Amino acid sequence: MGTKGTATRARLIEGARELLEAHGYAGTGLNQVLSASGAPRGSLYFHFPGGKDELVTAALEAAGEEVGAALAGLADEAPDTAGLVQGLVDLFTDRMVGSAFTKGCPLAATAVDVAATNDRVHEVCTRVYSSWQRELAARLLAEGRTSEAADAQAWSVLSLIEGAILLSRATRSRAPLDRARASVALLLQDDRPARSEA
């Protein structure tokens, strides 16, 4: 694929990402994607012969990689997992407020919309959310949690964030995300007994 073809494909994916995040699967039509991307109509099926579902999965994977890269960057800067998660909440809060509460997590609207009924979307959402969970669990494991505790806490953190995003969009208020941010330290507190000095 030439440079022009690569750029066109990237524009289609970016257009789909923007629309999916704001409107979900059902609210994102191919004509809207073409309009948002400025790509010619024939290019859509050239790059995505599988149609809408192929484009949607590519867009969700790209969004997942972007958040995964942000997680990795935050992990390099944050002093601990609580700081990492608070940084992630800040990232989603900025997206939410900056978009007048139409955006937040780039997967959430589509996952809620059709993940239960569309196998391709379900698979990519499962893969992306699981990759975020593994990143958090690895950090918790490095801090001394057991594998079981790290896995459970990482899923709890994602549930807290995704729930806060849903509530923030529904209420058009950042308050649920602010409360989630404040709850992170409590959720991730280490309940292991302190080691006695020998």
The pLDDT, as a whole number, for residue 5 is: 77
CB atoms within 10 A of CB 131: 14
Query: By three-state DSSP, how is residue 124 classified?
Result: helix
Residue 192 falls within a domain, yes or no?
no
pLDDT tens for 17-50 read 999 999 999 999 999 999 999 998 889 999 999 9
Model pTM score: 0.87
Whole-angstrom distance, CA of residue 173 vs CA of residue 170? 8
Residue 121 falls within a domain, yes or no?
yes
CATH of the domain at 128: 1.10.357.10
In DSSP notation, 83-97 reads: HHHHHHHHHHHHHHH
Residue 62 falls within a domain, yes or no?
yes
Residue 147 falls within a domain, yes or no?
yes
Whether residue 99 contacts residue 108, with contact meaning beta carbons closer than 8 Å, is answered with no
Whether residue 176 contacts residue 100, with contact meaning beta carbons closer than 8 Å, is answered with no
Residue 187 one-letter amino acid: L
Number of structural domains the chain divides into: 1
Domain that holds residue 115: 53-187
